[in-house]
Structure 1
Amino acid sequence: MSRQKTDDDVYVLTRCDGQVVKSSFDCLDAPIHITRIYEGDREPTIKGTPCVPTYARKFNIPLQDLRGHEDRLNLQKHGFQYLKLSSDTYIHPNEDSNIGSYLEKVTEVVKAELNATEVICYDYRFRKNQPKLTKDTVYGVDGRKNWDPVSNKPHIDQTADGAPRRMRRHLSAEEIAKYIDGSDTWRLQIVNAWKPLVHPVQDNPITLCDYFSTEEKDLVTIEYHPTPQYAGEYYSLRYNEAQRWYWLSNQTAEELLLFLSYDSHPTQGVKYCPHTAFVNPLAPEDAVPRESIEARMIVISRISDWDW
Structure 2
Amino acid sequence: MNQSIAPADIKVAALPASGSIFASLNFIRRQAEKPVLHSSALTGGAPRFFFETESRPVAIADMRPLAKRFTLDRQGFALLCRPIAVTDLTDDAAVASLYIPEVEALLRRQLGASRVIAFDTTRRSDSKEGAANPDGQRGPATRVHVDYTVKSGPQRLRDLLGESEAERLLRSGTRVAQVNVWRPIRGPVRRAPLALADAATLRAEDLIATDQVFPDRTGEIYHLAYHPAQRWYYAPQMTPDEVLLIKGWDSLEDGRARFTPHSAVTLPNTPADAPPRESIEVRTLAIFE
TM-score, normalization: structure 1? 0.81
Distance between the aligned counterparts of 1:149 and 1:250, measured in 2? 19
Aligned equivalent of 1:63? 60
Aligned equivalent of 2:46? none
Alignment of 1:277 with 2:264, yes or no, is yes
Aligned equivalent of 2:44? none
Q: What are the superposed Cα offsets for residues 216-254 of structure 1, whole Å, 9 maximum, x if unpaired?
A: 2212111123233x3210001111122110111111111
Distance between the aligned counterparts of 1:94 and 1:195, measured in 2? 15
Alignment of 1:250 with 2:237, yes or no, is yes
Asked whether the 8 Å contact 2:210–2:221 carries over to 1, the reply is yes
Asked whether the 8 Å contact 1:91–1:102 carries over to 2, the reply is no
Asked whether the 8 Å contact 2:115–2:286 carries over to 1, the reply is yes
Aligned equivalent of 1:23? 23
The code of the aligned residue for 1:84 comes to C
Distance 1:177 1:265, change over 3 A: closer
Aligned equivalent of 1:142? 134
Asked whether the 8 Å contact 1:209–1:244 carries over to 2, the reply is yes
- SS state at 1:76 partner: coil
Deviation at 1:263, TM superposition (A): 0.6
Aligned equivalent of 2:115? 118
1:189-204 aligned at under 5 Å gives the runs 189-204=177-192
Gaps of at least 5 residues in structure 1 are 42-50, 303-308
Distance between the aligned counterparts of 2:53 and 2:125, measured in 1? 22
Asked whether the 8 Å contact 2:24–2:265 carries over to 1, the reply is yes
Asked whether the 8 Å contact 2:124–2:139 carries over to 1, the reply is yes
Deviation at 1:83, TM superposition (A): 2.0
Distance between the aligned counterparts of 1:192 and 1:266, measured in 2? 19
Asked whether the 8 Å contact 2:84–2:102 carries over to 1, the reply is no
Higher alpha-carbon deviation: 152-161 or 209-218: 209-218
- SS state at 1:6 partner: helix
Q: What are the superposed Cα offsets for residues 157-205 of structure 1, whole Å, 9 maximum, x if unpaired?
A: 001011111111112466335424xx42410111111011121111000
Asked whether the 8 Å contact 2:13–2:200 carries over to 1, the reply is no
Higher alpha-carbon deviation: 102-111 or 282-291: 282-291
Asked whether the 8 Å contact 1:199–1:253 carries over to 2, the reply is yes
Distance between the aligned counterparts of 2:111 and 2:269, measured in 1? 34
Distance between the aligned counterparts of 2:255 and 2:269, measured in 1? 34
The code of the aligned residue for 1:109 comes to L
Asked whether the 8 Å contact 1:122–1:296 carries over to 2, the reply is yes
Aligned equivalent of 1:38? 36
Distance between the aligned counterparts of 2:167 and 2:27, measured in 1? 39
The code of the aligned residue for 1:27 comes to F
The code of the aligned residue for 1:30 comes to R
Distance between the aligned counterparts of 2:247 and 2:95, measured in 1? 25
Asked whether the 8 Å contact 1:37–1:222 carries over to 2, the reply is yes
Aligned equivalent of 1:6? 8
Deviation at 1:206, TM superposition (A): 0.3
Match of 1:83 among 72, 80, 85: 80
Deviation at 1:268, TM superposition (A): 4.2
Deviation at 1:266, TM superposition (A): 4.2
Asked whether the 8 Å contact 2:74–2:200 carries over to 1, the reply is no
- SS state at 1:90 partner: coil
Identity over aligned pairs, percent: 25
The code of the aligned residue for 2:12 comes to Y
1:161-240 aligned at under 5 Å gives the runs 161-172=151-162, 175-176=165-166, 178-180=168-170, 183-228=171-216, 230-240=217-227
Deviation at 1:87, TM superposition (A): 3.4
Distance between the aligned counterparts of 1:300 and 1:292, measured in 2? 26
Q: Which runs of 4+ in 1 moved over 4 A?
A: none
Q: How many residues align?
A: 275
Gaps of at least 5 residues in structure 2 are 1-5, 40-48
Distance between the aligned counterparts of 1:124 and 1:98, measured in 2? 9
- SS state at 2:38 partner: coil
Distance 1:102 1:282, change over 3 A: farther
The code of the aligned residue for 1:225 comes to V
Asked whether the 8 Å contact 2:85–2:98 carries over to 1, the reply is no
Distance between the aligned counterparts of 1:104 and 1:81, measured in 2? 20
Alignment of 1:298 with 2:285, yes or no, is yes
Alignment of 1:262 with 2:249, yes or no, is yes
- SS state at 1:164 partner: helix
Measured on the aligned residues, the alpha-carbon RMSD in Å equals: 2.4
Asked whether the 8 Å contact 1:168–1:176 carries over to 2, the reply is yes
